Chain A
Amino acid sequence: MPAVSKGDGMRGLAVFISDIRNCKSKEAEIKRINKELANIRSKFKGDKALDGYSKKKYVCKLLFIFLLGHDIDFGHMEAVNLLSSNKYTEKQIGYLFISVLVNSNSELIRLINNGIKNDLSSRNPTFMCLALHCIANVGSREMAEAFAGEIPRILVAGDTMDSVKQSAALCLLRLYKTSPDLVLMGEWTSRVVHLLNDQHMGVVTAAISLITCLSQKNPDEFKTCVSLAVSRLSRIVSSASTDLQDYTYYFVPAPWLSCKLLRLLQCYPPPEDGAVKGRLVECLETILNKAQEPPKSKKVQHSNAKNAILFEAIALIIHYDSEPNLLVRACNQLGQFLQHRETNLRYLALESMCTLASSEFSHEAVKTHIETVINALKTERDVSVRQRAADLLYAMCDRSNAKQIVAEMLSYLETADYSIREEMVLKVAILAEKYAVDYSWYVDTILNLIRIAGDYVSEEVWYRVIQIVINRDDVQGYAAKTVFEALQAPACHENMVKVGGYILGEFGNLIAGDPRSSPLVQFNLLHSKFHLCSVPTRALLLSAYIKFINLFPETKSTIQEVLRSDSQIRNSDVELQQRAVEYLKLSSIASTDVLATVLEEMPPFPERESSILAKLKKKKGPGAVSSTEQEDGKREGGELNGGGERGADSTIAASNASTPSPSADLLGLRSSGPVSAAPPSAGSLLVDVFSEAGPAAPAAAVNDDGFLSSAPPSVVSEDPAPPMPQSDELLHKFVCKSNGVLFENQLLQIGVKSEYRQNLGRMYLFYGNKTSVQFVSFSTSVTYTGELQSHIHELSLNVQTKPVEPLVEGGAQVQQVINIECLTDFSDAPLLNIKFRYGGALQNLTLKLPVTVNKFFQPTEMVSHDFFQRWKQLSQPQQEAQKIFKASHGMDKEVLKGKRIMENFVCAGVIQTKAQQVGCLLRLEPNAQAQMYRLTLRSSKDTVSKRLCDLLAEQF
């Protein structure tokens, strides 16, 4: 290629660019641009027809102005003229302009599509490529509609030039990504897969991106690609570095293609065919071996290309998670990189090890690198690398090294970058909770967190420590002593005052025996912090004071004096003033007994998913915390938090210290009586602990006036799409599950969280925009189908939705709350219709809301004798429903919890509806030999038996 030579290049353009560059100020630049725009406009409007060259020059100038960041609203027509020209350079500029300045004017699009159509059928490969590029660049729905049918034909036709095939493959990929419904592979599938065998490496490189994307969406149809990919990979890996000529990059044979092949294989489980698998394992071993060989070149490009393949191979090994030998080798290799002089490699090694840590085969091997990782956390100069080190420490943490890791993370926190402190605090809090063997260590750790990084300790963290102290009576005395000591510091963080106030208010009596922490000393210590604190903390302290009056009658007069002082009882803050007045009155008029009842110690908190873990998940975005980790969190959390009924929520609200009136009610009277109005900040304090998991239904019933009203739901939908074919399957997924992903496509992900109590349910839907473009006119509605609709006056379900924001930003998530009341039993699920506009196109989808009658089940304890007696009582034929079916998940896992009698599983429960309670009995008889089940349901209502039987039969 000659160095750039002058020819009849666009001199005018060069002059213009120089002019712009010589402008001394922004104003001068704008002036020059406006002058040029006026000039171009007059040329385009002039009577004299412009020749191709001038048109090209002016269109290029417009493009340049646009790329400088100015708006351009004309020139499209001239660009379309250019792309219809027969001169290559003119065509090229025309296409470039259209690609960069996409315009949705339909007349224009018709003209552009016309030009593209001509070029595609021109049989001139360079013209065809330009047209394909333009389609891929614009990628609009209109283009997909016009060309999605044609491009697969071009891609697989025998006489298509290689370069055109490459463009066609990637063009098709782009259309598939934007409009998957319009790209129908069907008959082309096998020919597309066989492009992996193409002689031309460029064609394979381009085609594999398409095949990978198609395989992710339709794994079964494309599974033949696995053996082809393995043999292609094997040929590349075993080739000498010179074999592949132009596709060898710095002595590495076809690194891009190798990476893509390894990525494609990650769409599938390990090959079942022994020979294929053997060949693949050989490839992976060769790649690992090559990493140990001396480099063939000192250039960084050589090592980057080689290591790119290595990391992709390790990703595949981790994906398979079945070859212990390879996993350990991968871990050792990454271990070497941890100390490599290239920052990039250290970063990637830390990142990759994070996933290795979650494999049971390599977890121990990862742990051996703990010292190196701790060192990285301390010494790396780049914050993004330190962040990775912190992530890895978190991932490799288990019971054996928790104390060390938590200590290191705490000490790092003192100097950590502000940007990662909050996340570090969450991680330390989670690890401390998850691996706490003795709770004094846990309490120490959290208090240290508050001491070191108080500003970054979010509410969830200190709520959680209080939750745990309340639930574990063996740690309460220690906690009281420790906070008391921590509060001695002359300057302590406000969060420390909050925790201290709360814990001393509850458990101060446990340390009051010691004269150094007598009641008055405790009170004076707390009160010495009072004036430095914000209003919510002061409110909390006032609640602690009234609790003190109950715990220590001797402090009554001192505290009453404080409450009576003008700075409290006449405080300008209405919340503080109200508390002071109410607490003062309460302490003077209530008898000791009443006081003791009202201010009783907090009951244990109900068991929930740790709110901190939920917060970390939210921070990291969905999917960032692996599902095993979530389960771990639940399991470990359960251990720690011991017991606690779900229903305890209501008691909390009732006996909450800050709800002064003992008659504070759960029946919706809260807003009527001024005395019983709970101070909002502290009153909701403890309920907030669970806000990540959502308040329980009864609490909701209090707060939400509309919840119990029986007004029929508003049905707002013009013409919602019919329910999607897979909606039944999606529904069945949720029969035994209350949280998860309800639906996902390329644009949207819908997550569900739900909880039920008696005949009430509350469901949280999370709509996540997976694209980077905002959804507009986003709306959802819930409607009924079939049976429910025909009995419109006898609704079975009362479903109330709260409206969602009409705008969903790219990457953002919006939440919607749905309240459900079960009036009578039902069979059909309500339909959820979602409508929004994505890039102008209306998306309309309808799903079944995962509400099934079994959600309103309440389990009943029953001895076997009672069970069979009732079973016999329900012996009328219409009370029974039975199904015999094949086990679809194998027999070892039992979904049902029940009492085991011989070979049978039985369960008893009550379906709670507003109209009536329906007792149900269930019997499951497995036949291991035939891998069949017989499921029998008996209940007092025939429709219930039938529906439950249908629902549960799908679950085995």
Chain B
Amino acid sequence: MMRFMLLFSRQGKLRLQKWYTATAERDKKKMVRELMQVVLARKPKMCSFLEWRDLKIVYKRYASLYFCCAVEEQDNELITLEVIHRFVELLDKYFGSVCELDIIFNFEKAYFILDEFLMGGEIQDTSKKSVLKAIEQADLLQEVCDVHLGLL
């Protein structure tokens, strides 16, 4: 089961956080700080997995954003890497060439998409179509932002 997912920028700004177990705010902040430091210090060609506390960290960088998941000991690292990728694909499809700014200005949408994809730390559906169909319900969309850096 995934314990939490974090999206943060290269500058160490947290863009999205999703916690799948009850965690005190104070602990969350501490963990985020610690983990960002560890991940940001790693070089590009390094392996995408690392052991951290009693968890496995799986992370991948897309353009300026780091997607970082904490999973449990028995979870599969490679498939978690593809959970991240599928989430990026969903964001990309929804926003149309997604960029960091989309996620900043439409954070609530990013949460809705993530909720349709993962629930309670487990995969709810892996089909892009099903997930996006669920999102279509919300048809009041936010304003376009001008810059598209393109994460993919």
Contact = CB atoms under 8 A, between A and B. Distances in A.
Nearest to A258: B79
B138 A17 contact: no
Contacts of B121: 174
B122 A206 contact: yes
B127 A246 contact: yes
Q: Which 3 pairs of residues, A with B, have the shortest CB-CB distance?
A: A3-B96, A174-B120, A308-B78
A60 B108 contact: yes
Contact of A255 (B79, B102, B134): B79
A382 B47 CA distance: 7
A308 B79 contact: yes
Interface string B79-118: 1011101100000011111000010111110011001000
A7 to B, nearest CB: 5
Given A6-B141, A6-B144, A206 B47 contact: no
A219 interface: no
A204 to B, nearest CB: 10
B119 interface: yes
A202 B132 contact: no
Contacts, number: 211
A454 to B, nearest CB: 26
Interface of B: 1, 3, 14, 17, 20-24, 27, 29, 42-43, 45-51, 53-54, 74, 76-79, 81-83, 85-86, 93-97, 102, 104-108, 111-112, 115, 119-130, 132, 134-145
Contacts of A254: 126
Given A6-B141, A839-B22, 17 more contacts: A6-B142, A102-B22, A126-B134, A133-B115, A139-B22, A166-B119, A174-B119, A201-B126, A209-B122, A254-B126, A263-B76, A311-B76, A343-B48, A344-B47, A381-B46, A385-B47, A771-B21
A259 B21 contact: no
Given A4-B102, A5-B144, A202-B125, A246 B130 contact: yes
A6 B142 CA distance: 6
A448 B50 CA distance: 30
B82 A9 contact: no
A308 B83 CA distance: 11
A4 B119 contact: no
Contacts of A177: 1, 120
A811 B53 contact: yes
B119 A136 contact: yes
Contacts of A6: 141-144
Interface in A257-307: 257, 259-260, 263, 301, 304-305, 307
Given A255-B82, A344-B47, A1 B132 contact: yes
Contacts of B42: 382
Interface stretch (A86-94, A152-160, A860-868): A86-94
Contacts of A263: 74, 76
Nearest to B131: A202
A247 B79 CA distance: 14
**Size category of the binding interface on chain A:** 35 or more
Contact of B138 (A89, A132, A167): A89
A205 B78 contact: no
Contacts of B102: 4
Contacts of A811: 53-54
B46 A382 contact: yes
Contacts of B96: 1-4
B123 A63 contact: no
B142 to A, nearest CB: 4
A773 interface: yes
6 contacts: A1-B135, A7-B140, A11-B143, A171-B119, A301-B85, A311-B76
Contacts of A178: 22
A17 B123 contact: no
A173 B140 contact: no
Contacts of B136: 1
Contacts of B126: 201-202, 205, 247, 249, 254, 256-257
Contacts of B17: 67
A163 B127 contact: no
A402 interface: no
A513 interface: no
B76 A259 contact: yes
